[in-house]
Amino acid sequence: MDKILVHGGKILEGDVRIGGSKNSALPILAATLLTKEKCVIDRVPDLSDIHYMLTILSSLGAEVERASGVVQIRAEKIITEAPYEIVRKMRASVCILGPLLGREKSAKVSLPGGCVIGDRPIDLHLKGFEALGAKVTVKGGDIFLHADKLKGARINLRGRHGPTVLGTGNIMMAAVLAEGTTVIEGAAEEPEVVDLARFLTAMGARISGAGTQHIEIEGVAELHGANHTVIPDRIEAGTFLVAGAIAGTRVTITRTEPEHLGAVIHALKEAGFNLSHTSDTVTISPNGARKPLHLETIPYPGFPTDMQAQFCAMLATMNGTSVVTETVFPQRFMHVAELKRMGANIELIDHHATIHGVERLSGAPVMASDLRASAALVLAALPADGVTEINRVYHIDRGYEAIDEKLNGLGAHIERVKAK
């Protein structure tokens, strides 16, 4: 098992290229199960979560070829059962349910695993499948789906903490081959949902309204193969912008979509940083007037929960008192204890973190608890005194492609070593 050593105090400057979106690529890869024809997906990031998804697709009978960020998949003959040994490592494996149900009208998939960031139920997914006409049974840790046929329905996917992104994608993928028209109310508006809809449309699906809370899907008899390029990863982009804020003089992220980063860019400007952008780049630099923030995570286009931990790391060394409220995953504060080991002054009450900025953090041994928490610890370590040892970095490899190499390219000093 690897660990990362971050030697603090280095100044970041330069350009860094953003990879394809993990959260977009995973359901798009799953959607290739909807056709017997070959699909070609470009700009697929080299991440452990992507590897798990390709393993799942292969286990279901799909032919998978991968080279230099391009994945070719032909799912001519597939089976409909994915056991726990295959899906246990990744929560996003649940997004194979929609394609299997849509194409084969049957699926048996074990309840998935993934990050430990609180309760993340899939009840809205199952509710949507039932509305389309599927019989849903959960037994012995397995989900069983079966339908004689699927029929369009009106489905509301808004949950207690907002819309479900994976759920919206799952229902879209099941509904594209259903009879009649499906209307999803309370749909997630994230760019990843729009990207999935673009791919499904390229396959022959009829979808309107993606990117709004009201999506309409007119079912078709079959889908065909298609080529598609995955959108840039807005969370990786945001993470490198925060790296530039924490330890940079000028950092430019390239091959990105600035319009997907609106809430993050706004928050960084509110914190006192200079930001400028072109059609596919964003540059951040300090202006000497850093200010505390009051942030609240809300579904897109609001401030993303997947950037909450990284901002906590940044705010830990900014003058004044900041307050961060987590409304999407209220228990998603496991990074706070590790930041406090580095000297951060943070009070955590329920889903509110009050952060009193300190002058500097100090390197310490810390433990990554989930994907975004691990990124936050790397960011916090960049300007810290001494060396920070980050353990369980397999979490970070789930969602960041060569983050250590990219940061070193900007001037950081990071080593990846084998844990004893």
Question: pLDDT digit string (tens) for 13-55?
Answer: 999 999 999 999 999 999 999 999 999 999 999 999 999 999 9
DSSP symbol at 46: -
What is the pLDDT, as a whole number, of residue 116?
Answer: 42
pLDDT at residue 390 tops 80: yes
Query: What percent of the chain is modeled with pLDDT above 70?
Result: 98
What is the pLDDT, as a whole number, of residue 118?
Answer: 44
* DSSP state letters, 149-179: --B--EEE-EETTEE-HHHHHHHHHHHTTSB
What residue spans define the domains of the chain? 2-19+232-418, 22-229
What is the pLDDT, as a whole number, of residue 113?
Answer: 55
3-state secondary structure of 146: strand
CA distance linking residue 50 with residue 55, whole number of Å: 9
Q: 126 is written with which tokens? A: 């199952």
pLDDT at residue 117 tops 70: no
CATH superfamily of 22-229: Enolpyruvate transferase domain (3.65.10.10)
Q: 247 is written with which tokens? A: 């330890």
What is the pLDDT, as a whole number, of residue 159?
Answer: 81
Same fold across 2-19+232-418 and 22-229: yes
pLDDT at residue 119 tops 90: no
Question: pLDDT digit string (tens) for 233-244?
Answer: 999 999 999 999
Q: 177 is written with which tokens? A: 């081959």
CA distance linking residue 341 with residue 343, whole number of Å: 5
Which helix (H) or strand (E) segment is 397 a member of? helix 394-397
Catalytic residue of the set 39, 95, 115, 312: 115
Cα separation values, 206 from 11, 29, 156, 172, 407, Å: 49, 19, 19, 10, 42
- In sequence order, what are the residues at sequence separation of 6 or more whose Cβ sits closer than 8 angstroms to the Cβ of residue 33? 57, 60, 62, 75, 78, 96, 99, 100, 103
Phi, psi of 257 (to 5 degrees): -120, 95
Nearest to 114 by CA among 190, 237, 22, 230: 22
What is the pLDDT, as a whole number, of residue 329?
Answer: 87
Give the pLDDT band (50/70/90) at residue 248.
very high
* DSSP state letters, 189-256: --HHHHHHHHHHHHTT-EEE-BTBSEEEEE--S-----EEEPPB-HHHHHHHHHHHHHHEEEEEEES-
Active site residue 115: yes
Please tell me the pTM assigned to this model.
Answer: 0.95
Q: Which CATH architecture has domain 2-19+232-418?
A: Alpha-beta prism (3.65)
